[in-house]
Structure 1
Amino acid sequence: MSSFFGFLQRILNRIESGVSREQIKRLRSAGHGIVLGRGVKIEHPECVSLGDRVHINDHCWISVLTENRETGRPPVELQPDLRIGDGCYIGRFGTLACINRITLGRKVMIADRVFIGDAAHGFVRADLPICEQYMTSKGPVEIGDGTWIGIGVSVMAGVKIGRNCVIGAGSVVTNDVPDFSIAVGVPAKIVRRIDG
């Protein structure tokens, strides 16, 4: 019986590997040594660039929106740009939601269950459910080289996190974080600098 399950596992691994190769082929640009875990979903891969040795772990969702819709109004074409630099690691169950621009520098380390988004649901119209309103963006998200984003963090639109920063577990980042800073909390506040 265990040999049957081993055989089934090998078949599933081959299917998953084939799906990953197909997604990588459709990216705007792709470096060498990219690893996509099981269940990784990349929407509109033509808007996504991955550098060398990028590792995106199991069940991550890269949600890229190329058209903004609102009930009763014309769709608005978007030009999203999502770039993940060389040597980045994204943990399991992560979400990157992009309608504007998200840039991860080199060797950024992101723990499990992290949300990074440059957009939010609009809610200005009382006559429409929120899910039927245009998405909005306060601006792009940028995360500098060598930064570590802890487990369960949310990084919101319009935020720039500098180089070699640490964002503590469960934090919600709503404002910029300068280079070599440690930030924690909801909303995240700088608690100290990393001295070389």
Structure 2
Amino acid sequence: MGNLLNLIGRLLRKLDRAVGSTTLAQLKNTGEGIVLGRGVQIEHPEYVSIGDGVHLNDYCWLSVAVNNDVCERPELSIGSDTYIGRFGTLACINRLVIGHNVLISDRVFIGDSAHGYALNSVPIKEQPMSSPGPVTIGDGTWIGIGVAILPNVKIGRNCVIGANSVVTRDVPDFCVAAGNPARVIRCHSEQS
């Protein structure tokens, strides 16, 4: 029985890698040495660019919505040598750009959009999406576990975003931000 389970496990891992390879071939731009964990999903890969050495850990979901009223050609871009932890979700209907050498912990949500809710007679899930603005994360930044980064936010270079923070406004280069809503609690100079 143990041998059968090992064989099934090996076959499932090979299938998972094969599906990942097919998805990578469909990306708008593909770097070298990309690592996909188990269960990674990339919707509309033709709008996704991934740089060299990117690691998307288990069950990451890159959700790109097309045919929306916000943007004809959405753009989701992940820079080289970036790591995204388990169960990371990137939701894009407009523009979401993650820089190089970014470390994103497990269970992080980053999205450039929001559901409409103005029509009382229509369920929220059927109301139009909107994008108040793109999301940009600068090179060398570390995003802590459980963070949510909401639309129209720019996080600078070499920043730290504390665990479980909700980022609703810009964070300058070389700063630490934490809380709900996240606030800058410390900054350091480039030379430090």
TM-score normalised by structure 1 residue count: 0.94
The 3-state SS of whatever aligns with 1:49 is strand
Task: Please give the per-residue CA displacement for 1:92-135, whole angstroms capped at 9, x wherever unaligned.
Answer: 00100000000001000000000000000011112211111110
Looking at structure 1, the residues matched to 188 and 17 of structure 2 have their Cα atoms a distance apart, in angstroms, of: 40
The 3-state SS of whatever aligns with 1:67 is coil
Looking at structure 2, the residues matched to 45 and 78 of structure 1 have their Cα atoms a distance apart, in angstroms, of: 15
Q: Give matches, 1:93-108, under 5 Å.
A: 93-108=87-102
Residue 182 of structure 2 corresponds to which residue in structure 1? 188
Q: Could you tell me which amino acid in structure 2 is paired with residue 46 of structure 1?
A: E
Aligned mate of 2:159, from 125, 143, 165: 165
Q: Runs of 4 or more off by more than 4 Å in structure 1?
A: none
Residue 64 of structure 2 corresponds to which residue in structure 1? 64
Q: CA RMSD in A?
A: 1.1
Structure 2 stretches of 5 or more lacking a match? none
Looking at structure 2, the residues matched to 29 and 108 of structure 1 have their Cα atoms a distance apart, in angstroms, of: 18
1:86 aligned to 2:80? yes
Structure 1 stretches of 5 or more lacking a match? 69-74
Q: Could you tell me which amino acid in structure 2 is paired with residue 116 of structure 1?
A: I
Preserved contact between residue 71 and residue 94 of structure 2 (Cα < 8 Å): no
Q: Could you tell me which amino acid in structure 2 is paired with residue 104 of structure 1?
A: I
Aligned mate of 2:170, from 148, 169, 176: 176
Q: Give matches, 1:17-166, under 5 Å.
A: 17-68=17-68, 78-166=72-160
Preserved contact between residue 177 and residue 184 of structure 2 (Cα < 8 Å): yes
**% identical equivalent positions:** 57
TM-score normalised by structure 2 residue count: 0.96
